[in-house]
Chain A
Amino acid sequence: MKRMRNGLVGGGAAAVLTLAASCSNTPVTPTPTPTIDPPVTNCNVTPPTTAITPALLASGLPCDATIVPPVTLPNFQHGFDYYSWLTFLALNAPASGGVIGKDAPAVWERWKELSEVMKPDGSRPAPWDAPRTIPTACRGVGVPKGTRVLSMVGKTPDVLSATVQPFDTGPLIDQHGRYVRYEILMNRPMFEYIVQNDLYSKQGQSAFTATVDFPEGDVVEGTTNGTIGAIMVKASWMVLDKSDDAGAFHTTQALVYTPPQDNPRIEESCTGATLGLVGLHVAHKTAGAPQWIWSTFEHVANVPQRADVDAGKLAPHYNFHRANCSGCAVNEPPPRPWNPNVQPFPNGFTSQIVREVPITADTDALTKAFTGLLAGTVWRNYLLVSTQWPTEPQSPTDPNGVPAPAFLANTTLETYVQGTVPQASSSCMNCHGNAAATTGRTSDFTFILERAH
């Protein structure tokens, strides 16, 4: 059921008045405030018992996970993994319309990028439909208008405070010695919630006295009516060159921007490049999962699993692993200094990464079934690692909802914190449950608010 939060009403009834210029007789023009999470009528409520056929390609975005009995851990995990694939199909459909298939800018790639929301001067973000802003250093780079900007070189950039971000992850270096690039984007309900509550600045966050509570995706029982809720995406991209098989990746033309940094000194730089998608996190807050549902996908050629390495069953090529590399330190960050302007990485370093926690047989089978629908497209080359979901979303004693699986890592996004060690290995909910705004108050499972200035 649609819920309204923090006194912000929806349905288009609300309006704010745009003040006319002083000393002017210009009439006051009402500017409608967008509804934060408007009702939709096309929630994808396909149950996970549905046969995986091409009909699913056009089934749309789930507003929440549809789960059916029996109430067992394996069955629920299957249901959430099925939800993840439905979400993957919907979000990777072309932004211009149609169903998933061609290698075109996807739905999520038209969402708002983090740096456009949390601006260095703390100013109000441009409206949802405004064109992307380009860093000054990128303005002379000859790329098509509207080309995106990728600036992050690590999932946890320096601006994240050590008090709430327990993992100091390093950069990931591909087989060409280049840094993997990252971006964080959010859908419109999440963006509007931040903007309309002035959470894009420290000042606004200080004035916000309510508990941060992003809108939930929800479905009116027995219907396809509901709301989408907040969704955030984290993507990792590998710079491609002529020796890479670009046809095996979802690609994008992007401005690869390195912001200036002190200690160590890093010069601002920008260049145009073709990049291939190698990792994709999707986090979705829903009524059934107020701790959010965390789905994570990877390119199939990223890394081998530990068992494959131990058994010597290695493929000829991986994006982040070199076969027969004796003496290569496994799953260790590159030596410092980390300067993206110095590429390839000095001394021939490339990351030697192995997946520590194996993908389960059921999740693997689902990936095979869904990618079977995507034969002949670049999307056949992506796999679901797993989906983390709350087994007790209303638990009074565990605000993280007792997540299952207990640990989940994407080898391109949590490269160096894989494993099963409590409070040290990657767990989406247990990590993001510690997220706080600049005020020190909890920020509803996202570190985004901590980036405000």
Chain B
Amino acid sequence: MASDPMTPFVNLSALLTGITAAKLVPPLSPSTVPQQIFDTAKTNGGATFDQLLTIYADAVAQRMTDAQIANQVFVANGPDVRYLARSIMLAWYLGSWYDPKVLQAYDSPKPPPGPPSSVVISSDAYTQGWVWNVAQAHAMGYSNFTFGYWAKNPPALSDFTGATS
């Protein structure tokens, strides 16, 4: 594993979420949310977390395309890796941690009733969840926009995600 696992984790997260790495973790960002998500995924993922990063590192070393990397993560290496990747995606978007085993239980012909349980990682993780940005909106009760923003169109989606398509 690389000496700084945060960097490959963010790069993998960019691939999983469609948000550029520079937007997920801006160079001067004072936010601790990325570190919180990393710590949560590592703690809860255990050995599978290390396996996931190794799979990603090997794929990058082999110069795989994004689609090929996605195949390695979601198909070729089994359900533990697949559902951990999904939990990481949800953590970035929703600021909550969904246990991979819980998610896996919903991927069946007879899923459990009701929504899957989850734990809010932190108040910051919730307000900075990417679901708000992708919706070009903001969390309820929390907005960085200035007075009167509601009378204007929001910034373009690409301004939020850094993605051009």
Contact = CB atoms under 8 A, between A and B. Distances in A.
Interface range for A: 20 to 34
Contact of A422 (B123, B146, B147, B160): B123
A441 interface: yes
Contacts of B141: 423
Closest 8 CB pairs of A and B: A404-B30, A391-B28, A396-B159, A398-B144, A436-B147, A396-B155, A434-B147, A399-B146
B104 interface: no
Nearest to A399: B146
A391 B127 CA distance: 19
A400 interface: yes
A433 interface: yes
A399 B144 contact: yes
A404 B28 CA distance: 9
A403 B142 CA distance: 15
A377 interface: no
**Which of the listed residues B27, B145, B147 has the most CB atoms from chain A within 10 Å of its own CB?**
B147
B28 A442 contact: no
B68 interface: no
Interface string B127-162: 100000100000001101111100000011001100
24 contacts: A72-B27, A73-B29, A164-B147, A391-B28, A391-B30, A392-B26, A392-B28, A396-B156, A397-B133, A397-B144, A397-B155, A397-B159, A399-B146, A400-B144, A400-B146, A402-B30, A403-B30, A404-B30, A422-B127, A433-B144, A433-B147, A434-B146, A440-B148, A442-B147
A426 to B, nearest CB: 15
Interface in A419-453: 421-423, 430, 433-436, 440-442
A405 interface: yes
A159 interface: no
Given A396-B159, A422-B142, A73 B147 contact: no
B124 interface: yes
A71 interface: yes
B140 to A, nearest CB: 11
Interface in A369-404: 391-392, 396-400, 402-404
Contacts of A301: none
Contacts of A397: 133, 144, 155, 159-160
A406 B30 CA distance: 7
A179 interface: no
Interface of A: 71-73, 76, 164, 391-392, 396-400, 402-406, 421-423, 430, 433-436, 440-442
Contact of B145 (A73, A399, A404): A399
A369 to B, nearest CB: 24
Nearest to A390: B28
Contacts of A433: 144, 146-147
Nearest to A437: B147
A422 B123 CA distance: 8
Contacts of B27: 71-72
Given A397-B133, A397-B144, A400-B144, 12 more contacts: A164-B147, A391-B30, A392-B28, A396-B155, A396-B159, A402-B26, A404-B28, A421-B123, A423-B142, A434-B147, A440-B148, A442-B146
Given A392-B28, A402-B26, A403-B30, A430 B144 contact: yes
A422 B26 contact: no
A124 B11 CA distance: 57
Nearest to A388: B30
Nearest to A435: B147
Given A164-B147, A396-B159, A422-B142, A391 B123 contact: no
A72 B25 CA distance: 12
B26 A391 contact: yes
Given A73-B28, A73-B29, A423-B141, A441 B148 contact: yes
B124 to A, nearest CB: 7
Interface string B83-99: 00000000000000000
Contacts of B123: 421-422
Contacts of B127: 422
B33 to A, nearest CB: 11
A433 B123 CA distance: 21
A436 B145 CA distance: 13
A423 B140 CA distance: 11
**Which of the listed residues B29, B30, B142, B145 has the most CB atoms from chain A within 10 Å of its own CB?**
B30
B61 to A, nearest CB: 27
**Which of the listed residues B29, B124, B141, B146 has the most CB atoms from chain A within 10 Å of its own CB?**
B146
Interface string B31-43: 1000000000000
Contact of A442 (B26, B148, B155, B160): B148
Nearest to A73: B28
B30 A73 contact: yes
Contacts of A73: 28-30
